[in-house]
Structure 1
Amino acid sequence: MLSSKKSVYNFNAGPSALPREVLEKAQSELVDFKDSGMSIMEMSHRSATYEEVHNQAIERLKSLFSIPENYEVLLLQGGASLQFAMIPMNFLASGEKAAYVMSGAWSDKALKEGKTIGDVYEAASTKETNYNKVPDLSEITWNEEDAYVHITSNNTIFGTQFQEFPETNDVPLIADMSSDILSRPIDVSKFGMIYAGAQKNLGPSGVTVAIIRKDLLENVNESIPTILKYSTHASNNSLYNTPPSFGIYMLGEVLGWMEKQGGLEQIQKNNEEKAKLIYDAIDNSGGFYTGHAEKGSRSLMNITFRVADEVLEKQFLAEAKEAGFVGLNGHRSVGGCRASAYNSVPLAACQALEQFMKNFQAKHQK
């Protein structure tokens, strides 16, 4: 079932699969990058060679995502978890409020971090139904005076995803897109800020992308530490301190791979095709498999499901692991099964999982 070039089918939720051709190119350039006699990991981040890599990654991201000119692209560290604190530190002034849409564990973490900084509140929540859907847009409420509205576009643990986004008008909409950024075209101009850890769709762990409208950068809180100000990183081209240079190199190469795939329109088609294989195996199983997410909120990135009973579910995961499938266990907080079919997960892996699910059901259905 496995090809000679790939020993496993990688469905890890993050860090996750990377394109094989990108890994092979990185391997070939690892010791001697562009005849420098050094690895990219060894050279100064102030060198012309590295700056070219750095700037190319930013320009590729701007081009692929159709980022307007009035936005800054920052390459940061600390993951989305640091952004949970940096966002209110920068943008939530004393006396202001911010609205948070609750759709899963990561939005909950963002809210809790916001509460340590200022006055934040829930704008909507689906916690009562165990986050099996994202809130309907009509359920989301905020005030025109709010500093921002925060959403999590895709929820890795529960397998839900916003199919469309709220129109917040003059209130900046801020989105954590860590697990579905660049999986489909979106209108960046609808957002005041988009941020994402790279380790799911963009590259290896260690890089965090932040896309911020420039007018927001003009009003950041000046009383916070210098390194925590977005304006600091914007004015220094994300080179205020030593960047995660290898991760940024890999980010640029993954973005180049996306360009070769045909851009985001084709990436979306690929993701829809991959997800449909697994969702069809669930929907056509007669209840042997059951999906967690409601159909209108289903994620293309993280497909969550349960097997008929607990004993069979454990057997399913054990046999899947033996067959070379990696990362199918659901998050420890909810259990079950989860297949994360990010951009770099090949169609063949999803075809193999679909067939495995059908074969397992045929063997064990009573």
Structure 2
Amino acid sequence: MNALQENRFDTTRGMHYRYYVSSIGDYTPPKYTLLLCHGFPDDARLWQFVVPSLLKSGLRIVVPDLLGYGGTSKPTDPKEYNWELMVTDMVEVLEVEGILGGVIPMGHDWGAAFAQRFYMLQTDRCAGLINLCVALMEPFADNFDVDAVNDYTEKAIGYPVYAYWKLFLPEDGAKLMENRLESVWYVMHGDQEDWMKEMFCVHGAMREFIEADRKDVPLKPFAQDEKLKNEWIQSRKESGMIGPTNWYRALAYNHQLETEKKLNAKIEKPYLFIGADGDSVCRTDAIEGVKQKGLTPDLIVHEVHSGHWSPYEKPEEIAKIVVDWCSEKGFSKA
């Protein structure tokens, strides 16, 4: 993140945010801003290998540590992770930087869900939307039931996509991960056939692996970088795993329900979705359902040859797809 300036800001509701922002340079409204939103279990540094190429677009870039992560506040109450509250926080961060419109939220994993909700709650501020791995999640009007989702996906595609939530939801799961962080790194970034499906989509598999403190599988090439691994482990040691897993609790305990009922599912503005062919949980084919419903009239879909953590694994390819799309849509001249 060396090319960006680190800033900090306290929001009206008392949440402290650390974020990184590109130089204002010759930036003047109505130019556009990429708001890069990381997911679990990372922080703003997820984007460190993507940012250098994105800067070539001429767009302004803002990269926050989202709530629960890094240098940002880490409330222990899942209710604090309500979409509206977090989106309002981010609006305040953008406004203090003089960014009032032209925002293109771009997210990975939970950051993709946040980017979608930012768009839905602040559509007038947004010029478009970019999601990595997590396709458009339609707003829901009834209680979220993770067991029902797992039952449905097991029947539909042969395995429960959210089996791993049974580790993430109880606080003892967060504490287990805090005590076995290097093993968590191996769970996330193991490099063998169907590894993600084996760890994430089999009941009890992830807990069993971490309880045994296993580190006996090969890692993806990017994950073998000792500096990257050690920085991630140190950040998680400092911030813990309660905050990151509170994103799961906020949804599973239905702290998002009243907000979800207010949302409009249709993405009228340009929408770029970048899937990954090695992602067993967030499958690229999930975009087909929303396409068929006509919810994404200006949709472009790409798929990269990567596991779930494509910003680490294929940063230059991700950046090129984004820069080209921004140029095609008139957001930049790059």
TM-score under structure 1 normalisation?
Answer: 0.25
Q: Which has the larger radius of gyration?
A: 1
Q: Which has the higher helix share?
A: 2
Query: Scaled by the length of structure 2, what TM-score is found?
Result: 0.27
